[in-house]
Structure 1
Amino acid sequence: MSKKYICIVKVNETKFVRYHVNNLISFVSFLDKRFAGWRWMNVFDYRTKQQLGSFSKNNRPIHKYIAV
């Protein structure tokens, strides 16, 4: 069973993007390719909308999922 998240990412000074994500490691790799200047992201539970974590370019997720 995969876990689903909603990630809101600040990609530059004024722009935010929102993605539905299953794998945080793959998502960070995608951000590095698509939005090289991304700054931080907040991760929310897909169903409850509760914030589960916050990551930045220097503080990256080390696991595919967040242990709740």
Structure 2
Amino acid sequence: MKLIRLPKVMDYTGLARSTIYKYIAEGTFPRPVSLGSRASAWVESEVQEWILTRIEERDAQSETV
């Protein structure tokens, strides 16, 4: 298991910091793991799974069109 910090999450997803935290608040993005009082990181596999789910949703939509 690998933990990644916010800049890497932003790089993987192409999302801005504010959008990532908005999606977390909505419950549609993986929550970070607290590493201390001022540090957090995400489980890399959870972020990758979130990306794969977006791709699957896209492909499912294109099949129904």
TM-score by length of 2: 0.30
Higher helix share: 2
Q: Which has the larger radius of gyration?
A: 2
Higher strand share: 1
TM-score by length of 1: 0.29
